[in-house]
Amino acid sequence: MSRIIGIDLGTTNSCVAVLDDKGQPRILAAADGERIIPSWVSWSANGQIAVGARARRQGVTNAAATVFGAKRLIGRKVNADDVSWFARLAPFRIVAAPNGDAWVRVHGQPISPQEVAAHLLRAVRRVAEDALGEPVTRAVVTVPAYFDDAQRQATRDAGQIAGIDVIRILNEPTAAALAYGAHRVRDGRRVIAVFDLGGGTFDISIMSVDNGIFEVLATGGDSALGGEDWDRRVLERLADEVFDRHRVDLTAIPMAMSRLREACEAAKKALSVDREARINLPFLAHDPQGVPINYERAVTRELFETQTRDLLDRLEAPCRRALADAGLAAGEVEEVLLVGGMTRWPAVQDTVERIFRKKPSKGANPDEVVALGAAQYAGILAGESDDAALLDVTPHDLGIRVGDSQFAVVLPRNTMLPVRARRLFATTVDNQKFVTIELYQGDSADVIRNRKLGQVVLDDLPPGPAGTTRVELVITVNVESILSVTAREIKTGRAASVTIRPSGGLSQREIIEIITRRRNEHAALGVPPEAIGGTVRVTTRDQVISKPDDPDDRKP
Amino acid sequence: MAEGALSIKLRCASWQQLATIYKRDLSRSRMFLRAAAPPPIGTAVHVDLTLPSGTVIALEGTVDSHLQDPQRGSGVELALAPLAASSVWLIESALASEQRRIATPVRGVPIAGAHALTGIVPTLGENAEVTAAEQELIKALMSEAESLKKLNPFLVLGVGYEASDAEVRAAFGELTKRYHPDRFARYESIELRQVAAEIFILIRDAYRRLVDAAARAQVLQSIGRTAPATAPGPATRTVAVPPRRPPSVPPARGSARVMPHVPPLPGVPVPLPSSSSGAIPSAIPASRSAPVAAPGAALPVDKSGATAIAPGASRPPIERSLRRVPGEGPPPGAVASPAALPERRPASGPFSQTQPAPTLVEPGEIDALDDLIDQGRLDEALAGYRLLGKRAPGDRNARAGIELCEGLLALAARDRLEAAQRFETALEIDPSNERAARELAEMRRQATNERKGLLSRLMGKKEP
């Protein structure tokens, strides 16, 4: 049996790790030594696909066909708030799929974010296979703690398209805490905060860890704030300077902007340690007289800090809110773990220290810590490590619709999995013939704003006045977040049940179509199918999936 | 699975293998297995077919005929039960894309000549050791789940009645490490994970009830302990044996708390007839999340009648939750608490729980005998219980005590089968006999551990 890898599938960068023979997690590097893979995918006009750093470079010349931030779209509806925000900002087109999901359009072709993510996962898988020298088919993949079941399932589906069996979806803060060894502390329950400032997103999670059991107490963040904002601020400032001096608008020259952006990012990394860095870009552009501009400038940490002071302020409110949600004062957090490259920035660390009134832990590489944690959990699942047992929790309230549009919560969010809950419900009208029990997931008291997962209909109820006929509802959620729902009328024992596998927006048929299409394309090019991957998930004998051709499955 | 049934595991390393197996075997609902010593015709065989993606399709079949195939050797042919339509569809779709590659070998070369194919003929008994060990482990876990169902939350977690929150959490942490389904992921058996999940749910429910102060007070009340600060147990033992519950219905719990919107409904924690034991801590989720149900006990009828919200029932239903015990029911208004809902079979003695037994036996006598057991003076305790039994032939405590002592003696003599039977009998007589329940649970836990170890070792050998 092949090894299980841990994948941090990030908004900006992805990373892969595996547990080595000594039981230590280690990052797998690509052949060129790169340990992180930019989460970018680019389609050239002739159908060639580039992934990672190569795709990001193409983003300059081929912006409309270069997709990044697919994680912001996966499993989402196109009309969700931050999807619309991203759609306005992204240089590529974001369109609505027939079911309302957010897809991208590249060269006129609609592509699901699952497929985009699958390209990334396939690249990650290739890195792992090259590094390990053996085939890789199974992985633990991390997602943000606030991802709902649809986003999680969509991530699994992406894995399936890429030929990876995603055996577990793990919360990113949990993975980070695991890599930091937070679960090994033996003195009872501890409260930790995971402060994750990545390239494009900011997530804060307040968790408790107790004897190897992790519970997410609260999450918060700002999905529109990340390290790229720091780069952009300085980039804009430098572009202004160039305009003032040479009367050249660099923002109109994509290649120049791209070079300058990369230089800013490199300078920022250097400035995390040093106080000064030099940017040196010969032949950046030509001035109106046609004289080449050889750009050279020393940048200081101060320059960055004056340009980005307000960004630091935006870190504070989400932390305060998350603390309030968890019912904790800032001082009650016992440890703050830093995740994401931007947390190397001294001013960010100072801000964290000011908010939580303690020095954050810096024992691990913030770019890699999530992947390392995922690899550790993969080791636990494979039985290679006896370290900890993680408790996954439901990310959102789960309940049923009652009355007109009220949401009766049966399993509150943060309920440990697996779990079983029983509830009794009564009929609402005399001689009611049947009940339709609709299951929803979400945090709104108004059921309409939550996501419908499925329903079970119990008919042939015995006649009787309203309220006398009782229906017992038993909901079981297993560790893979698969729901089994049984409704049983108490008197007659008549029962109906349904198993609901979360849907990520693509039906099994669509997933298989994608795999098939890709194989056929490659077969035409003479690529062996083993190199393409693609797996078909089959349910076990006692599981019923929503049928792929179920019309409900397809409607928005 | 039926006794004596065979289990084999069959892994497809590539989609081509699956295609071959599908074309040759599954599509005609038959399967050839190589076997040196073919099992008799009619033997049930269970095949776990693992796809290259790692997912498993379960196939059920029976041995249909014995074959001597010149190419594939001697073996048996199974008649398979029909596959689920969804499975068939999924396999076929996956293979559709492979068609180009597999069409030639399968159509062009007869099976008899296909040497490549003989390599993937599964051999019956290839993984027999592992499969048998796995089945053993599943059985052990199932019986463990059964015994856990009979325990109160303190006993499930193995903590004392005065355990602090930290102790409860630590115990839960330890048990989680042992029973969380992820701990069984390595065995790649879906069934195993499901059974483990069942156990984990019991552990989790027990934990939830003990960390919540109100729920814990309820638990204590239902097992006859009101104040948490009574009767400090010996420090060396994890469980302080509580006083025997008088053979009467436990104190009624506020049904309103359990189900606020179904006020006078007595049988709220309804034992499902499908479950094998009645003592499911079913009230936990209900009581924990009761306030959330505030909108009312209304179920939408259909689109037209969906506006109505029922105010809740005001009449108790005619049928009682305890209808499995005809002629026996708690007094009206009493709510059977989960801890007090163990299986009450008519066979459990002449005295039902609603008709208190004549108090021929003083509670002090039982306590004294329990002390003897605690001190390991089993023979004396047994003699004492026998004496009590003679004096009060119907007394449950005495009869259960005899079985308990016999069981403990059998355990001391390493006769585990006898011990388990004795403990089970003791529990049947007196479902509230904690000592017996605890011993049984402990024995089953040990059995599980041993089998887990065996399976791990076997798998370790097979898969370095």
More confident residue, B299 or A31: A31
Q: Phi first, then psi: give them for residue A423, nearest 5 degrees.
A: -145, 150
User: CB neighbours of B455 closer than 8 A, spacing ≥ 6?
Assistant: B130, B133, B134, B136, B137, B187
Tell me: pLDDT of B135 over 80: yes
CB B18 within 8 A of CB B59: no
Polymer length in residues for chain A: 556
**Parallel, antiparallel, or unpaired for β B6-11 and B44-50?**
parallel
Residue B360: predicted pLDDT: 61
Catalytic residue, chosen from A101, A149, A172, A228, is: A172
- Tokens standing for B34? 């190589």
Q: What pLDDT shows up at residue A100?
A: 92
Statement: residue B388 has pLDDT above 70: yes
DSSP 8-state secondary structure symbol assigned to residue B108: I
Q: Determine the residue of chain B that is closest to A377 in CA distance.
A: B182
Interface of A with B in 349-408 (CB under 8 A): 380-383, 386, 388-391, 399-404, 406-408
Give A-chain residues touching B311 at CB under 8 angstroms: 467
Confidence check: pLDDT of B50 > 70:
yes
**Neighbouring C-beta atoms of residue B303, cutoff 10 Å:** 8
State the pTM of this model. Answer: 0.70
Looking at beta carbons, which residues of chain B come within 8 Å of A213?
172-173, 176
Chain A nearest CA to B376, separation (Å): 34
Q: What is the pLDDT of residue A226?
A: 94
A548 touches chain B (CB under 8 A): yes
A196 is annotated as an active-site residue? yes
What the block records as the tokens of B92 is 């076929």
Nearest residue of A to residue B186, measured between CA atoms: A382
Minimal Cα–Cα distance from A32 to chain B, Å? 29
Distance CA A314, CA B81 (A): 62
pLDDT of B143 reads: 87
Active-site hit among A115, A149, A196, A215: A196
pLDDT 10s digits, B157-192: 988 888 898 889 888 888 888 888 888 887 777 888
Map residue B343 onto helix, strand or coil: coil
Cβ within 8 Å, pair A548-B89: yes
User: What pLDDT digit, counting tens, does each position of B235-246 carry?
Assistant: 333 333 344 333
Candidate from A410, A470, A538 with C-beta closest to B51: A538
- Window A:503-522, CB contacts with B under 8 Å: 508-509, 512, 515-516, 519-520
Nearest residue on chain B to A187, judged by CA atoms? Answer: B166
**Tokens representing residue B333 in the block:** 């208004």
Residues of chain B found within 8 Å of residue A488, distances taken between Cβ atoms? 272
Cβ pair B310:A467 closer than 8 A: yes
Q: Which of A412, A422, A529 sits opposite B98 (nearest CB)?
A: A529
The DSSP-derived string for A130-156 is HHHTS---EEEEEE-TT--HHHHHHHH
Q: Cβ neighbours of residue B457 under 8 Å, at least 6 residues apart?
A: none
Find chain A residues with C-beta within 8 A of B173's C-beta: 210-213, 389
CA–CA gap between residue B259 and residue A161 (Å, rounded):
46
**Interface contact flag, B285 A168, Cβ < 8 Å:** no
**Per-residue pLDDT for B250 more than 50?**
no
Q: What percent of chain B has pLDDT over 70?
A: 57
pLDDT per position in chain A (556 positions), as tens?
Answer: 578 999 999 999 999 999 998 889 999 999 889 999 999 999 998 888 999 999 998 888 899 999 999 999 999 999 988 899 999 999 999 999 999 999 999 999 999 999 999 999 999 999 999 999 999 999 999 999 888 888 999 999 999 999 999 988 998 999 999 999 888 776 678 899 999 999 999 999 999 887 777 878 888 889 899 999 999 999 999 999 999 999 999 999 988 999 999 999 999 999 999 999 999 999 999 989 989 999 999 999 999 999 999 999 999 999 999 999 889 999 999 999 999 999 999 999 999 999 999 999 988 899 999 999 999 999 988 887 766 666 667 778 899 998 888 899 998 877 878 899 998 888 888 888 888 899 998 888 888 888 888 889 988 888 888 888 888 999 999 887 788 999 999 888 888 988 888 788 888 888 888 888 887 777 666 555 445 454 443 333 333 333 333 344 333 3
Active site residue A71: yes
State the nearest Cα–Cα gap between A484 and chain B, in angstroms. Answer: 12
Could you give the CA distance from residue B457 to residue A129 in angstroms, rounded to a whole number? 28
- Chain-centroid distance of CA B296 in Å reads 33
- Out of A165, A423, A490, the one facing B319 most closely (by C-beta) is A490
Pairwise pLDDT comparison (B53 vs B150), residue with the higher score: B150
Residue A499 forms beta bridges with which residues?
Answer: A484
The residue whose two tokens read 């269970």 is B46
pLDDT, position B125: 52
Question: Helix or strand or coil: residue A121?
Answer: helix
Residue A329: count of CB within 10 angstroms of its CB: 10
Determine, for residues A474 and B273 on separate chains, whether the beta-carbon distance falls below 8 Å: no
A526 against B422, higher pLDDT: B422
Alpha helical stretches, state H, B227-307: 255-258, 283-288
**Contact predicate A319/A329, CB 8 Å:** no
Integer Cα distance of B219 and B155 in angstroms: 12
Most confident listed range (A298-307, B129-138, B357-366): A298-307
Tell me the shortest Cα–Cα distance from B464 to chain A, in angstroms: 9
Residues in chain B: 464
Chain A CB contacts of B296 below 8 Å: 402-403
Check CB contact under 8 Å for B262 and A424: yes
End-to-end CA distance of chain B: 29
Binary contact (A418, B186; C-beta < 8 A): no
Confidence at residue B70, expressed as pLDDT on a 0 to 100 scale: 66
Q: Which of A134, A405, A540 to mutate to test the interface with B (most CBs of B within 10 A)?
A: A540
A61 touches chain B (CB under 8 A): no
Measure the CA–CA gap between B156 and B205, rounded to whole angstroms. Answer: 10
Chain B residues whose beta carbon lies within 8 Å of the beta carbon of residue A212 = 173, 176-177
Cross-sheet strand order for the sheet of A49-51: A49-51, A40-43, A66-68
- Hey, which residues 106-125 in chain A have their CB within 8 Å of chain B? none
Choose between A188 and B420: higher pLDDT. B420
Question: Using a CB-CB distance cutoff of 8 angstroms, which residues of chain B are in contact with residue A426?
Answer: 261-262, 297-299, 310, 312-313
Asked if residues A76 and A85 have their Cβ atoms less than 8 Å apart, the reply is no
Cβ–Cβ gap A403/B295 under 8 Å: yes
Q: For residue A307, what pLDDT is reported?
A: 94
Please tell me the distance from the alpha carbon of residue B127 to that of residue B152, in angstroms, as a whole number: 39
- In this prediction, residues B406-431 reach a mean pLDDT of 86
Contact B126, B86 (CB under 8 A): no
Is residue B258's pLDDT more than 70?
no
Q: What is the pLDDT of residues B83-122, one digit of tens each?
A: 776 677 667 766 665 554 444 333 333 333 333 333 445 5
A188 contacts on B by Cβ (under 8 Å): 166, 169-170
Interface size, chain A vs chain B, as Cβ–Cβ contacts under 8 Å: 260
pLDDT at residue A371, as a whole number: 97
CA–CA min distance B85, chain A (Å) = 10
* Residue where the block lists tokens 């469980």: B239
Given a contact cutoff of 8 angstroms between Cβ atoms, the answer to whether A78 and A118 are in contact is no
The secondary structure of A175-206, three-state, reads HHHHHHCHHHCCCCCEEEEEEEECCCCEEEEE
Are B183 and A547 a contacting pair at CB < 8 A? Answer: no
Per-residue pLDDT, B55: 67
Q: Which of B104, B175, B194, B299 to mutate to test the interface with A (most CBs of A within 10 A)?
A: B299
Q: Is B65 helix (H, G, I), strand (E, B) or coil?
A: strand
Task: Grade residue B53 by pLDDT with cuts at 50, 70 and 90.
Answer: low
ipTM of the complex: 0.77
Nearest to B206 by CA among B157, B171, B165, B170: B157
pLDDT at residue B117, as a whole number: 37
Give me the percent of chain B exceeding a pLDDT of 90. Answer: 5
Q: Quote the mean pLDDT of chain B.
A: 65
Q: A422–B282: do the CB atoms touch at under 8 Å?
A: yes
CA–CA separation, B296 and B262 (whole Å): 9
| Among A84-93, A399-408, B26-35, B312-321, the least confident range | B312-321
